[in-house]
Every structure is written in C-alpha cells, then in structure tokens.
Amino acid sequence: MGWKEAAEPVLTRMPAVQRPEGHVPFKRKLAWTAGILVLYFFLTNITLLGLQAEAATDLFGEFRAILAGEHGSLMQVGIGPIVTASIVMQLLGGANLLGLDTDDPRDQVLYQGLQKLLVIVMTALTALPMVFAGGFLPAQPQLQLGGLTLGLTGVQLVLFAQIFVGGILILYMDEVVSKWGVGSGVGLFIIAGVSQMLVAGFLSLSEEGFFYSWYLILSGQAEIGSLVTGDGLYAIFLGQGEIIALLTTVLIFGIVVYAESVRVEIPLSHARVKGARGRFPVKLIYASVLPMILVRAVQANIQFMGQILATQWPGMPGWLGQYADGQPTGGFFYYTAPIYSPDDWMWWTAAVTQEWWQVMIRVSVDLTFMVIGGAIFAIFWVETTNMGPEATAKQIQNSGMQIPGFRQNVGVVEKVMERYIPQVTVIGGALVGLLAVWANMLGTIGAVTGTGLLLAVSITYKLYEEIAEEQMMEMHPMMRQMFGND
C-alpha cells in the first residue's frame, strides 16, 4: 500500500468549502468578496485574550505587509502558514516526490487535502514558539474566565488556541473567496493590509504621516537643520520629508502598471468559426508577483528561526547571529536579513553601526536571493498553476482555437508556447525581485516595504482585470461556455 492509499481516508475528509453548482452571478461574487474583507478587518481588531500587549514582540515585524494579519490579534499568523505550506508543496511537486498527477481528479483531491493539512500543521508550528518560547507573546500570570482562574500555563494554552483558530479561519476565508468571490483571499488580504498602511502613512496625524510631517516642516515646528548641510538634505529627502519615499511609491505604481501591459501576443483563430480571432498574451510578468510572497516567506522563516535561537540559546556562536534589541547585528542571520529601508544600508549615517563591507554583503545576499529566488519560484508557480506550455496548449486546443499557419495539434501549439513562456517567466521573476530590493533600499510611504507595494499594485491590477472579465462574461453568457466557466 502506497502513501496515497494510506492517506486517502484522511485527506479526502478534510473540511472544505463547497464549490458552487453552476454559474455564480457577478454581484454575488462581489458580495462574498466584500463580506470576507469586512470579516478580515473585524478579526484583525480582536485582541488576543490573556496577552500582555505592551510587552509583546512582533516576530514577523517588517514582513507584515507581505504576510498580512495584525500583531496581537486573532490574525496573528496572517497568511504565513498558507504561504509556507505552498512552498513545501511546490518543492515536493517540482521534484516529483509526491507522485501526484494534477490532471487526475483523484490526485487533485489528495493534493488539495495534503496542502490543507500542511497549513494546519504550519499554523500550530508557528503559534507554538510565539506563545511558549522566548516571551514573544507574553501571557498574563492569571486570567479569570467566569468562575475559573487560569494560571500561566492555562493562559498560554488559551493564547495558543486563539492564534490557531485564527489561522484556520484565514485558511477557509481564502477558500471562500477563491470559490465564491473574485480573485483569491491571499491577494485580498495583502491588498487590505498594504492599503491600510499606505493610507496611514499619508494621513496619520503624527510625525509618521507624510502630510502632517510637511505641515510641521513648513510651519517651522520641525527641526531639520540647514538645507545647505548634509543633515538638512537628509531630513528632507530621506528623513522626515520622505521625498525619496514618495517618488519611489509613485514609480513603483507606474513601473508595475507598465510592466503588466508589456506582453508578447500570440495570434489565435477559431478552427470552426470563420473570422473568430483572438490573442493569447504572454505578459512580461507572466507568473505575476505572487512568487515574491514565497521568496519573502523563506526569508521570514529564516529570521523567525534566528529570533527563537537568540532567546533560547544565549551562547549562540557569533558567526551564526548577534542580536541587539531583537534585531540581528552580525553573523549569518544579519547577512540573510532583507533590506527594509535606507537606514539598513547607508553605512555613512549613524543609523548603521556595521562596517561598509558587512552592509554590502547583506545587500548582495538580499539581491541574489530575490533575483534568483524570484526566477525559480516563478517557474514553480507557472508549472503548479497550469500556466506552463503544456497546460496552456491543452487549454487553447480545448477552446477550439489554433495558431494560424500551424496544424491544430496540442504538440505543435506546445512547441510554439515553449519559445516564449519559459524565457518570459524567468526574466519576469528576476525583474520583480530586482524591483523589490530597489524599492526597499529607497523606502516607501507608510513603511509598506517595496515588496509589499509591488504585491499590492500588481494584485490590484489583476483584480481589476478579473472584475472586467467577469462583467464581460455576465454580459455575454456564450463566452462562459467558450472558456469553460459555466
């Protein structure tokens, strides 16, 4: 008996959101999407019962824009377990270690069940060290629940249960959006978190708010120094004035929208309907920017491990990691930490205590990790989401379309697709990684991070395209039959 036969009774019985029978009207899809979004914001505002909020440390810190969720709330783990499970499944599937054929309906059910089981396991493995190791989420010494008094261990168990339930909720909320709404829940939650941080970065009535900061500068209430000195220019462009951050934010919007419009269009014609023509677009960012979530999630898990080792292993060797105020300052975990802002790499300022060569090693590692990792995960993403040459050729063949001048054969169409898709996938993945590091180095409004802003803009653009497609299919029902969406 193989592992599939042994695991099938468990994996096929995993709780799942039922797929809709037939077509779901566009307005109902929007209603489900809006409802899940409201529920997400509601859950992010529910503080964990029994938590000493003032002493809590956010382990994900700078990765919040990517992993969504809210520190100290039911959405503590965000989409982290979903992304980590996706990485594991993509690596196992890419190496063909699972022996699953995603074209087989039975194996599809097993794959989805295994991924869901992995998410549940990852949620528990993420929550356990947060609560029970290192005091990252310190519990109150005692907690009154009705007539029951819980000690420290009991309060920790309550905290763990809340975080675990929150992780399971976000898993099924993502499934609801994927099956009944528009787009994906993971993308929706990223947009929600980044948008909230971006709006707060512009409108906050504190020194962190862009407009309020300029009000203080122009009214003379902010001490920025003389503009003819380096300190004054630094304060205007990279400090409180955030001119560079504003320009970077605007440029990221423009570059992503432009890159989404750059494409190679392969002409198509219908084999039976004369005059029916179309085009198959192979975009520059063919795999989208979602593989960047996977790359950053790997880095987040590395830093997560470093934080835990630093608290549980006081004698950790210096080459492995040195920490001050919860942040790596040397060793392996420092060099593998992503660049978050200009303060992380401008070694000539007081914000950086490391030598210039240490900073350059960190920048080089981050750049290499993002460019090469972006290309690799883009390939995995294309293959596992049926966007590769073979799957695309089958989709074109099943829709009754063909490439003019070529025989109507799946193998022929696949060879044409192989001229474009693999190369564009690698170039697009590497380009997105390069853009993310560049944006992080210059900074963005609201401390969103370049990767978070890239994700939000690209996902929003794709969501707009999906909404336009849904509206078109709602107006022309015959198109649903052509694309198999009915």
Is the per-residue pLDDT at 36 higher than 90? yes
pLDDT at 226: 64
Residue 302's Cβ-count burial label (10 Å; 0-12, 13-18, 19+) is middle
Is-contact 234 249, C-beta < 8 A?
no
Is the per-residue pLDDT at 475 higher than 90? no
Is the per-residue pLDDT at 165 higher than 90? yes
pLDDT confidence band for 478 (50 / 70 / 90): low
Q: How far apart are CA 412 and CA 427, in angstroms?
A: 24
pLDDT in tens, 198-245: 888 888 887 778 898 888 888 877 776 666 666 677 777 777 778 888
**pTM as predicted:** 0.84
Residues 359-387 as b or e (16 or more Cβ within 10 Å = b): beebbebbbebbbebbbbbbbbbbbbeeb
Please give the structure tokens belonging to residue 441: 């180095």
pLDDT confidence band for 157 (50 / 70 / 90): very high
- CB within 8 Å of 257: residues ≥ 6 apart: 457, 461
Q: How far apart are CA 109 and CA 91, in angstroms?
A: 18
Is-contact 77 123, C-beta < 8 A?
yes
The three-state secondary structure class of 112 is helix
Q: How far apart are CA 279 and CA 266, in angstroms?
A: 5
The three-state secondary structure class of 60 is coil
Residue owning tokens 């919007």:
253
Residue owning tokens 């420092």:
334
Please give the structure tokens belonging to residue 395: 């989709």
Write down the domain spans for the chain.
Answer: 25-182, 262-443
CA-wise closest residue to 48 among 139, 111, 123, 112: 139
Please give the structure tokens belonging to residue 11: 């994996």
As separate numbers, helices (DSSP H) first and strands (DSSP E) second, the chain gives 18, 7
pLDDT at 274: 66
Mean per-residue pLDDT over the chain, rounded: 84
Please give the CATH superfamily to which domain 25-182 belongs.
SecY subunit domain (1.10.3370.10)
Mean pLDDT computed over 343-351:
82
pLDDT in tens, 396-415: 888 777 788 777 788 888 89
Mean pLDDT computed over 294-316:
86
Q: How far apart are CA 294 and CA 206, in angstroms?
A: 34
pLDDT confidence band for 171 (50 / 70 / 90): very high
Q: How far apart are CA 130 and CA 325, in angstroms?
A: 17
Which backbone phi and psi does 317 adopt, to 5 degrees? -60, 145
Mean pLDDT computed over 128-138:
82
pLDDT confidence band for 95 (50 / 70 / 90): low
Is-contact 91 98, C-beta < 8 A?
no
